[in-house]
Amino acid sequence: MLVISAFNECDELTSGDFERFVGAVLEACGWSGLTYTQMNQGGEHGDGGIDIMARRSGRAFAIEVKQRSPENKVGVTELSQLHMGADLRRIKYRILITNGYFTSDAKRRAFKLGITLVDRETLRTWWQTQSAELGRAVKPRKYQAAILEELVERFDRGERGFFVELATGLGKTYLAAFFARELLRREELKGGRVLFVAHQIELLEQASSSFRNVLGVGGYSYSACFDGSELRDTDLVFASFATLHQTISKTDPGAFDIVIVDEAHHSAARTYSRVIEHLQPRALLGLSATPFRTDDKDVLGFFGGESAIAGRRDVLWAIRHGYLARPRYKVFLDDIDPERLQLIRTGLSLRDLDRTLFLEKRDDEIVRLTYEQIAEAGIQDVRGIVFCRSIRHMQTLIDAFPPGSATLVHSNGMAADTRAANIRAFREGHYQFILVRDLFNEGVDIPETNVLVFLRSTHSRTIWLQQLGRGLRKTETKKDVHVLDFVGSIDRLNEVRVFDQALREVEVDSEEIRDPDGDIVLDRDLRVQYDQRAADVRVLLERFEFELASRANIVARVEERIAMGADFPSAPELPSLTGSSSDQIATLFGTYARLADRVLGDEASAELVREQVRDVYTKMRSRLGVEVSVESVLAQLRWGDLAFGSAARIRAIQLELFEEWEAGELMAREPVIHDQSPAQGDDIPHGDDDSEREENALSELIERYRGLIHSRADLRQLNTTERDLARLHLGSLEAFLDRILLNHGE
């Protein structure tokens, strides 16, 4: 047996002696019956592409050995030689071993062909431990062990569907490998087959590596199925949903004993569900870091429902217990028109609010602030992912970065080889930044990432968490990830605020802390920083939170009444029905008509308001015998502090009524209008003089109370006329308070 005292000595051996060295390592690791091939035997490629033939666990292996310097990587050519030589000898299990490394193309090709690659680090480990069973040294963490125990107990009770939620970085794939290993050790499942399915090749490659680390090499055979390739008859198959879907009807439903679905929140999609529903394994395990979908489709149903959840450790738990890097979050907002902040409560969609309130920063300003924050944080080896708004945006944004500091990847017309090369160059530190859109949401693991830059509003908590997860993996030198959020979105501001609050509330299990000597327990939040404008909007959002909840409660009470067959409530009925005073309803909705708009929709609300105005107007005109002013109608319809609607809206209805009534003296008269001031949101035009006069009155009112009003309680200083003026122009007293505070710099 060839003996060396230090692993590096194998680099100095002759090629023949290196083969003998590898053979000795294989024998120490459990292979037997080694045969060294001779030149020109068994094929036209010298040694036929095979250097050693051996057996392990009753299986024949074809092994090719390549001695290389670390910089001279083994490529696809050598891989093809092994593949062809093994085919000629009809040997199913194949291993390519080197004292160097493999090219990315060779790794991808080997993965597809089911060829095991042993690089320098793996060979060193085999030589040191005299074992190819790497799984002996890989043990589950405490929380993984607890979930694994629960999974096995449930399987023993006869359950067949399971679901586990583990945040990115907590080892959900390793947990699946541990689970598969436990089941495959059972007598009834010995010789069983495992199918691991995911929607991205990168996820399959990472999973294959994890399973080999747990199960070892030699005891099981591995293969991959993607890009249209066929399923191979191996113990473990790592397959893409897209390829499986093409041939699922030809696949035996019982072909696999264990099926593991990664990123299982995709299961509800048609392509994925067809695959899952077709297969009938002994155990079906779903894995996800973010198990909920924005379209509310059921995910858990495929795995047995809510009761199938065998374990859950979300991103909040992982951060608080020290398993993930802690985000250091900085929020930037652009110029906002203070007068438009009141729109937050109008009922507009978040997308409409974002378009109305925010302006996008210029690309050069984003890059300047990014480098400024990096310098402030003292980050030396910058590795940043920039999530852009669109492919076009990333193509223009890259020009704002210093030459040679950034690259980009996308899936729209960019060749796969180019994408792979750019990602590899970023991983290896040739670029500080890589610009992406959605390509890195899932399936990409770059633990060294220490900066995230958000430029794209996702309107999806799931996508935001996925993107945030790209920077959360810890390394020996990285405990924090710096997040720069330029999105400029009410939705994002609220997500950050809610996430930060939820993180503070996580209860810490001292036995689960990864680093008991660290500052995990004391360091409770994200340390979110806001620029001045973002801080202003955050304060408003916190004040509006109770208000928005109250709006939802009032709407729900009214909708419940209507659902029971009753009419829309009159203004006097609202306080007892909703539990809110007329003043509170006025503050939240402005007028009775606007509440009707919110509950009934524009068309039905318009009809309701029109009928009530007709009824009051007709009765008053009949009783008084004269034309009735808009002011009089509004006064009659008012209930406490709750105005019925705007003067402009009432006037428009009166004009419609006049057109309907019979000709004669009514047609010769115009309704008497004393006040045509609209509430916010009306589209009735007014003369320039009226508009200027109304705006002056509002400005005078704001100026009069500037410095005197600091909170909602101070609004009691306003008299009835002033309160009506504020509501008429701004929709509510809260909007009036906002205007005063913002103008006063509070």
CATH for 7-132 is: 3.40.1350.10
Which residue do the tokens 């050693």 mark? 52
CB atoms closer than 10 angstroms to residue 582: 18
Whether 313 shows a pLDDT value over 80: the answer reads yes
Nearest residue to 501 via CA among 526, 523, 521: 526
Superfamily of domain 136-313: P-loop containing nucleotide triphosphate hydrolases (3.40.50.300)
Helix (H, G, I), strand (E, B) or coil at 275: helix
Across the range 22-31, mean pLDDT stands at 92
Nearest residue to 397 via CA among 427, 434, 344, 345: 434
Whether 57 shows a pLDDT value over 90: the answer reads no
Please name the residues in contact with 628: beta carbons below 8 A apart, sequence gap of 6 or more.
617, 620, 621, 671, 672
What is the pLDDT at residue 146? 94
The ranges of the chain annotated as CATH 3.40.50.300 are: 136-313, 326-509+518-530
Of 686 and 401, more confident:
401
Whether 458 shows a pLDDT value over 80: the answer reads no
Q: Which of 489-503, 561-575, 692-706 has the lowest mean pLDDT?
A: 692-706
Question: Predicted confidence band at 261 (pLDDT cuts at 50, 70, 90)?
Answer: very high
Q: Which of 23-32, 178-187, 661-670 has the lowest mean pLDDT?
A: 661-670
Instruction: For domain 326-509+518-530, give the fold.
Output: Rossmann fold (3.40.50)
Whether 299 shows a pLDDT value over 80: the answer reads no
Per the CB < 8 A criterion, the answer to whether 30 and 132 are in contact is yes
Rounded CA separation 32/307 (Å): 47
Hey, which residues does 97 pair with through a beta bridge? 65, 118
Token readout for 176 is 């699946």
Whether 685 shows a pLDDT value over 60: the answer reads no
Amino acid identity of 99? Answer: N
pLDDT tens digit string along 556-609?
888 888 888 888 998 888 888 887 778 778 877 788 888 888 888 878 888 888
Q: How do 309-313 and 161-166 pair as beta strands?
A: parallel
What is the pLDDT at residue 453? 94
Whether 370 shows a pLDDT value over 90: the answer reads yes
Q: Which of 28-42, 346-360, 495-509 has the lowest mean pLDDT?
A: 346-360
pLDDT tens digit string along 426-453?
988 899 999 998 767 655 668 889 999 9
Hey, which residues does 434 pair with through a beta bridge? 385, 407
pLDDT tens digit string along 638-659?
888 788 888 878 888 877 777 6
